[in-house]
Chain A
Amino acid sequence: MNNKYLKILIPVVAIVVILESVILISRASKPQTVILDDQNMEQSNNAVVDQNPVLEFMFETESNTMQLNKTGLVKVNMVPVADYNLDAVELYIKYDPEVMTISGLDYDRSLPKPTFSKISVEKGMIVANFLISDEAGFGVRSGEVQSLITFMVTPKVPGNYTLEVNKVALGEESATLVVDNGTKNALPFTSNKLDINVLE
């Protein structure tokens, strides 16, 4: 009697398992469709720093040696190696908020007021974005120093520190950028670093 039930039960279970396996396997092998983007392809943008630079950012300060908790003025200038008309200057300067306080960010009055400027303690970044609305752009002349911004530095910890223009690949956030009016492209630039020796 038991054998009779077993003879029926085993084939039934086997058929169920086989059917389920077939369904599972066929579902797994069914092609899945994904629509690949055909237009908004984001291209590689390579840094324009240190590639035959045509501009140099320069830091200027009274002295590279500063006293702890004493405030010193820092200027950031730009010097082109040829004449350019600029559509935009987006300046990003890295600093370490753990060791210094930045304050009093101001811009050179020969430039239009920055569309955005901020001292970001959270990001450790001084930001000044100049967008030149004038159709012809903002003219800078070969070898002439163009002042951009000034700010105050107050060291909080003794030691040696550096301020530098943020150099990351174009297409990334916080990329320092100078845009030429003629080509609408970013101009290659270089920059010096400001080494600060903080004494007690």
Chain B
Amino acid sequence: MTMKNSKNKSLILVLVLLAALAGALVLVNSNQETRRGAYFSDTNVRVLPDTVSATLGQEIPFELRVETANGAKVSTVDAKVCYGNGLAIEGSAIDKIDLNREAFTQVIEARVDQAAHCVRIIAISTGILPENLKSGSVKLATIRFKAVSQTSGKVEMVTASTTVGGYNPVAGATDTSIKVGTSYTASYTIGAGGGNDDDNCNGSRPADRCDDPKLLQINAQCYAGTTVWDFNDQLCDSAGRREVCGGTNYCCPSAGGDWTTDMTSCHGGVEPTDIPDTEPTLPPTGDDSVLNFKIAYRNLASDAKCYENWPVKLIVLGGGVTRVYTNVSVTPDPSNPRIMRGSIVLNGFTAKNGVAVFFKNSKSLQNKYGKNNQAEAYNKAGGELTLTNSASSSPVYDFTNYPLMPGDVVSQNGEVQDGLVNGIDFAYMKSKVVTHQTVGAGEYLQADLDGNCQLNSADVTVFKRTLEEKQGQLY
């Protein structure tokens, strides 16, 4: 009897463990669907309008959308968009991509493979609180193609090469990028004929509509296949948002409030002299990569003493993942105080190979770095940097031969940067340098581009050098 009981127990134990084994295997295989961070597993992508008829020579805009489920909020999209014969992206890709700045703040990569008829777009949202990120059907951008031959074809976002990342309200953190599910394509037919892009819409382009305090309707467009002018609708849906309607600046003082021309709540027109708060580097977790680096700032004065704490922003890109780190801690190199060095644990970023990084400071343009000792713009997709998960073993990358270029100090709508050096920055510089404001060593002035603690004509000279150099690169 005892023998029999023992046998039965063994048999039951074996069966239970076999069931556990099978269950565990199922769980492991369906890991992505069960983990609580997988909010983006139901994400689809779509190209709109789904059908377009156009004529030769016409510009055809296609809208790219990401559709999330479960309220998942999008902060990054890395999309590969492929198109058929008859369409072309003429000139610079970045000129033909209109980013939806309601949802994304920056295109960090826009590259056309003319031979493959594909364009890769990487867009991110920075500076937006998680609760203000967009969810549901989120417009990424509009690509304006040119109809170059009579034919028909499709435009699609390639699922195998498109990833979406964003804030997960359940996990309380940002998901890693996850491949999307279904891609809904658009088809087009290009017929003979020429004509103006706007010919199909009635009348001339209407003016902005700024009368409704809840809704600004701006920048009317005439899209192929329609006769109605399509306005870009702007709701006052987040505090601090700024828009220009009918040539006038508008401020959204609170989410759901009314648009107002009183810019007080949108930080307009205040000279930024305070150094923005810094954030401590978070401790390493798991297999996070570590970046050791040296950077330099172009055109510092020989007696510069006000540059060491210019806030530095870093974007890393690799393995289909993009991460943004602000107020990155840098210190002067002991051997050369005009070189800034730093080491950062890239929390949430585990890629070890093929990494690219983007640096900027609070008054510079953004530079992309893809290899060590880089001395000029890195004009390739992705990067070649290799990292490890240890500060001691990860290489120290020297980017000092391609210094950050100062000059991006403001934008049209306020004092935040816009990624460009242009006449708006120049007007700001001009208005500041005449004051000859001087501060003590280590203090901060936004228009002090040479870091000598005083606003003067040398800063304008530095600005002009940057403009010349940047324009030389672009044109």
Contacts and interface: CB of A to CB of B under 8 A. Distances in A.
A172 B101 CA distance: 12
Interface string A43-71: 11111101110100000000000000000
A124 to B, nearest CB: 6
A118 B471 contact: yes
B475 A118 contact: yes
B184 interface: no
B36 interface: yes
A175 B35 contact: no
A40 B126 contact: yes
Contacts of A39: 127, 276, 311, 326-327, 362, 416
Contacts of B285: 30, 33
Contacts, number: 252
Contacts of B313: 37, 40
A36 B411 contact: no
Nearest to A31: B173
Nearest to A22: B24
Contact of B101 (A44, A50, A87): A44
B18 A14 contact: yes
Given A52-B246, A133-B430, A17 B21 contact: yes
Given A43-B416, A44-B102, A173 B95 contact: yes
A171 B419 contact: yes
A39 B277 CA distance: 9
A168 B125 CA distance: 22
Nearest to B105: A42
A52 B247 contact: yes
Q: A30, A32, A39: which has the most chain B beta carbons within 10 Å?
A: A32
B475 to A, nearest CB: 4
A185 B412 contact: yes
Given A33-B285, A174-B95, A25 B101 contact: no
Contacts of B416: 39-43
Contacts of B75: 34, 36
B474 interface: yes
A54 B242 CA distance: 22
B208 A11 contact: no
Nearest to B430: A87
B212 interface: no
B13 interface: yes
A34 B324 contact: yes
B247 A31 contact: no
B294 interface: no
A24 B175 CA distance: 16
Contact of A10 (B21, B129, B326, B434): B21
Given A118-B471, A172-B95, A179 B324 contact: no
B426 A35 contact: no
Nearest to A123: B475
A186 B75 CA distance: 30
A143 B253 CA distance: 38
B139 interface: no
B467 A125 contact: no
B323 interface: yes
A54 to B, nearest CB: 8
Given A24-B31, A52-B246, A129-B423, A11 B17 contact: yes
A50 B198 CA distance: 14
A115 interface: yes
Contact of B424 (A50, A173, A184): A184
B230 interface: no
Contacts of A51: 207-208, 218, 244-247
A48 B244 contact: yes
Interface in B1-46: 10, 13-14, 17-18, 20-21, 24-25, 27-28, 31-32, 34-38
Nearest to A11: B17
A116 B421 CA distance: 12
B205 A50 contact: yes
B323 A34 contact: yes
Given A11-B17, A50-B205, A179-B426, A186 B412 contact: yes
Nearest to A21: B24
Given A33-B348, A36-B128, A123-B475, A177 B423 contact: yes
B237 interface: no
A168 to B, nearest CB: 7
Contact of B247 (A48, A116, A173): A48
Interface string B94-123: 110010011001100000000000000000
B23 to A, nearest CB: 8
Contact of A32 (B106, B348, B460): B348
Given A17-B28, A32-B176, A38-B127, 8 more contacts: A10-B14, A33-B173, A35-B282, A35-B324, A36-B324, A174-B474, A179-B427, A185-B424
Q: What are the 8 A-B residue pairs with the smallest beta carbon separation, nearest first?
A: A88-B423, A41-B127, A37-B126, A31-B173, A44-B101, A120-B475, A32-B348, A87-B427
11 contacts: A28-B38, A32-B347, A36-B125, A40-B127, A44-B242, A46-B219, A51-B207, A52-B247, A116-B467, A174-B474, A177-B424
